[in-house]
Amino acid sequence: MPMLIHHIDAIARQKGRDVVFVTFPECDSWLEESPIDYAQCAARDVVITWLDGNRIGWLPCAKFADENFIGAYTGDVYVDVPFDPGNEAYRQVKEFLEYPDGTSKIEGARFSYLPLAIAMTNSHHDKPGFWEEWAKAR
């Protein structure tokens, strides 16, 4: 079923803040001979089940937008909590996903954050019609 999936940098700009997300490197194998379908990714299932069970919002998200490359959706998820160690929901997510030293508790899941300042480097993508014009130029 078709769905609209926003790039993580577009989500950061829309939210107006730093954002956190989870990637699943084993699902990022779409160029390989036998790619792993993100829907069959065990680590992704564990993360989404936990987020849903703890009533923490999430959305599918695409990687940081790149005008020179468009890839397939690889299962990444934006987690709708602010990047703020003082925020209880953020701490809950971080404690679920990472050990105190920052290593992953869940094999195959990588917890990441994108600062708004970096997301703003693609703010020209928000201009109405940008992607349509980009596609025509190809």
pLDDT at site 7? 97
Is 89 a member of any domain? yes
Domain residues for the domain of 62 are: 6-136
pLDDT at site 3? 82
Distance of CA 61 to the CA centre of its chain: 5
Q: What is the pTM of this model?
A: 0.90
**Do 84 and 65 meet the contact criterion of CB atoms below 8 Å apart?**
no
10 CB neighbour count, 10 Å cutoff: 18
Is 1 a member of any domain? no
pLDDT at site 54? 98
CB contact set of 86 (below 8 Å; sequence gap of 6+): none
DSSP state of 6: E
Domain count within the chain: 1
pLDDT at site 137? 87
Is 112 a member of any domain? yes
Which residues of the chain fall short of a pLDDT of 50?
none
Give the sheet arrangement for strand 6-7, strand by strand.
Answer: 6-7, 58-62, 77-79, 19-23, 110-114
